[in-house]
Chain A
Amino acid sequence: MSARSPSLIVGVALVTILVICAIAGPLAVHVDPDAIDLAKALAAPSLAHPLGCDQLGRDVLARILWGARLSLGVSVGVVTISAVLGTLIGAAAALAGGRIDNLIMRGVDIVLAFPGILLAIALAAILGPGLIDLIIALVAMGWTGYARIVRGEILTLRERDYVVAAETLGARPARVMLRHLLPGVAGPLAVQATFGIGGIIGAETALSFLGLGAMPPTPSWGNMLDAGRAFLLVAPHLTTAPGVAIGLAILGFNLMGDGIAQRIGVD
């Protein structure tokens, strides 16, 4: 593999732009994303409003920037919680072995039997709309991948000579775990988490699009796209802006995940 992977460079660039937009965007663009101005309803992009205005005359650029903050914040939060939870559960399964391992992995199988975002949809439907509920629903769906990876990696690593040597030398289980097993899991986990952030951005925007995530007037890319669908003919910029934002954000994390996987040799 070449030292410089173009997908890593482009991916990191896109993700960096997204992070800057999410953190600095709302500070740099002094426009209230919720300010309604019906006189400007459905206005096309102009100098004053680079991405135009929506059906209530709200500035689309400001809403995209605030939406970036929401999407990135939710997805990073969900992936962090899912990865920690999944690591704990996967490590517990691998170390306990036997019936406990069996029980945990059957649980993982059952959660995985719910296709795609179905489990998150069902949970969000019962919990009701709201940011915390959205995060709970996405974590419930997302932890299984990490649990599987961590369990699998630990089971493999435990057979390695350096781990067996550490155990023979009398290292306590906690030390073996922290010093020898978890660092070995870090690589595959980083790859999974990078793709995971892209995946959660997709899931979060889909839930918001279905009316099960962030609720209007909170600006989110998903509910902007949903609202824009009524104006496809007269104001296509209302769907294009959030659509391109979602696509580029997911593309960035996918390319970055590909790049990291190539760099550290994980498939």
Chain B
Amino acid sequence: MTGYIVRRIAAVIPVAIGVATLTFLIIHLVPGDPVVAMLGDTAPQADIEGMRHRLGLDRPLPEQFVSFLCGLLHGDLGESITFRRSVSSLISERYPATLELAGAGMLVAIAIAFPLGFIAGAKPGGAGDVASMGFAIAGISIPHIYLGPLLMIVFSLDLRWLPLTGRGGFAHLVLPAITLGTALAAILARMLRQSLITVRESDYMRTALSKGLTPRAALLRHGLRNSLTSVVTLIGLQIGGLLSGALITEIIFSWPGLGRLLISAINLRDYPLVEGCVLTFAMTYVVVNLLTDLTYAFIDPRVRYS
């Protein structure tokens, strides 16, 4: 197990360096001068030069890259231009809100997906299957940017059950979590159904049935358990969609997280802040994937040796 953990962590390092490099290149190499974009075309040349010097943009690119990487190792992401504070402090303020939203979205997804996937997989072709998979295909197709406003119209404006926007107690979390979790619920339900259908054909299910278990009990006790391992990896693969969905959901519900910070940084042309936010999102994804792999190896010993 230790050997596997070390190998997986070692494999992540080049990807993490690659992610940092690509983020740096996007911000620094793509045509368009960020300083001119920040100050406007009509800014005096002296101001432009001054700003460029302050941000270190007048130095050669390799030198900028080295100091960017060194800063990164110390958790230093530079200083935000508009907030005049360190980027890392701004991000650490907003980060918990994004994790809270993503976690709640994941819980909603699992709470919807498991019953639906089980009903569908227990009797493929039955009425429950058709209804569950109908929901799933609708859930995958409805975009966050419409589901969010739709829920707001019904539950906040019409019924007045839940607050419209912002972050606060549990009530504030409900609509954003449903908006975020629905698409993932639909994807997971489809996967669970497929996995249960495959599992039903297996020898141990035949054994379970022949020793007298009812089909339902056999599926719950033996089938679901074995399907879970594959669903865990698939959840890991879907985290990317969850994170970028969280970004959009934050905009819809004015949720004070990393996504909203990123979009306002883009609108303010605060490039150090854009860089920090993009990097944090991508690194979160890399780390979560690593954790999923390790969890999976923990659950299923076969993975460690392959």
Interface residues of A (CB under 8 A from B): 7, 106-107, 109-119, 121-123, 125-128, 198, 202, 205-206, 209-212, 222, 225-226, 228-229, 232-233, 236, 239-240, 242-244, 246-248, 250-251, 254-255, 258
Instruction: From known contacts A118-B247, A118-B282, A210-B263, infer whether A113 and B15 are also in contact, taking CB-CB under 8 Å.
Output: yes
Among candidates B34, B146, B262, residue contacting A246 with C-beta atoms closer than 8 Å: B146
Among candidates B18, B145, B153, B242, residue contacting A232 with C-beta atoms closer than 8 Å: B153
Set of chain A residues within 8 Å of B220, measured between Cβ atoms: none
Summarize B's interface: helix, strand, loop or mixed.
helix
Tell me if B22 and A110 are in contact (CB < 8 A): yes
* Chain A residue with Cβ nearest B19: A113
Complex Cα gap A247–B145 (Å): 10
Set of chain B residues within 8 Å of A209, measured between Cβ atoms: 145, 248, 251
Tell me if B157 counts as interface (CB < 8 A to partner A): yes
Among candidates B26, B142, B282, B286, residue contacting A247 with C-beta atoms closer than 8 Å: B142
Set of chain B residues within 8 Å of A109, measured between Cβ atoms: 15, 18
Among candidates B30, B243, B285, residue contacting A123 with C-beta atoms closer than 8 Å: B30
Set of chain A residues within 8 Å of B18, measured between Cβ atoms: 106-107, 109-110, 113
Tell me if A243 and B19 are in contact (CB < 8 A): no
- A122, A211, A240 interface centre (most CB from chain B within 10 Å): A122
Instruction: From known contacts A122-B23, A210-B251, A239-B149, infer whether A114 and B15 are also in contact, taking CB-CB under 8 Å.
Output: no
Tell me if B141 and A251 are in contact (CB < 8 A): yes
Tell me if A251 and B137 are in contact (CB < 8 A): yes
Tell me the minimal C-beta distance from B243 to chain A in angstroms: 4
Tell me if B244 and A116 are in contact (CB < 8 A): yes
Tell me if B121 counts as interface (CB < 8 A to partner A): no
Tell me the minimal C-beta distance from B191 to chain A in angstroms: 11
Instruction: From known contacts A116-B241, A210-B251, A211-B267, infer whether A111 and B143 are also in contact, taking CB-CB under 8 Å.
Output: no
Tell me if B138 counts as interface (CB < 8 A to partner A): yes
Set of chain B residues within 8 Å of A111, measured between Cβ atoms: 22
Tell me if A118 and B15 are in contact (CB < 8 A): no
Tell me the minimal C-beta distance from B49 to chain A in angstroms: 21
Instruction: From known contacts A116-B241, A206-B248, A247-B141, infer whether A233 and B157 are also in contact, taking CB-CB under 8 Å.
Output: yes
Set of chain A residues within 8 Å of B22, measured between Cβ atoms: 110-111, 114
Tell me if B281 and A225 are in contact (CB < 8 A): no
Complex Cα gap A228–B251 (Å): 14
Set of chain B residues within 8 Å of A114, measured between Cβ atoms: 19, 22, 278, 281-282, 285
Set of chain A residues within 8 Å of B218, measured between Cβ atoms: none
Tell me if B140 counts as interface (CB < 8 A to partner A): yes
The size class of the interface chain B forms with chain A is 35 or more
Tell me the minimal C-beta distance from B37 to chain A in angstroms: 8
Complex Cα gap A107–B22 (Å): 10
Tell me the minimal C-beta distance from A38 to chain B in angstroms: 24
Set of chain B residues within 8 Å of A119, measured between Cβ atoms: 26
Tell me if B27 counts as interface (CB < 8 A to partner A): yes
* Chain A residue with Cβ nearest B283: A113
Instruction: From known contacts A254-B137, A255-B137, infer whether A125 and B274 are also in contact, taking CB-CB under 8 Å.
Output: yes
Tell me if B152 and A206 are in contact (CB < 8 A): no
In order of increasing CB-CB distance, the 10 nearest A-B pairs are A116-B244, A243-B146, A115-B240, A110-B18, A251-B141, A115-B243, A125-B266, A115-B285, A126-B30, A250-B141
Among candidates A116, A206, A240, residue contacting B143 with C-beta atoms closer than 8 Å: A206
* Chain B residue with Cβ nearest A140: B26
Complex Cα gap A226–B138 (Å): 22
Tell me if A239 and B266 are in contact (CB < 8 A): no
Set of chain A residues within 8 Å of B138, measured between Cβ atoms: 247, 251
CB<8 Å pairs between A and B, sample of 11: A106-B15, A106-B18, A110-B15, A111-B22, A115-B284, A115-B285, A117-B244, A118-B278, A205-B145, A247-B143, A251-B141
* Chain B residue with Cβ nearest A253: B141
Set of chain A residues within 8 Å of B137, measured between Cβ atoms: 7, 251, 254-255, 258
Set of chain B residues within 8 Å of A229, measured between Cβ atoms: 149, 252
* Chain A residue with Cβ nearest B275: A122
Instruction: From known contacts A109-B15, A109-B18, A255-B137, infer whether A115 and B143 are also in contact, taking CB-CB under 8 Å.
Output: no
Set of chain A residues within 8 Å of B240, measured between Cβ atoms: 112, 115-116
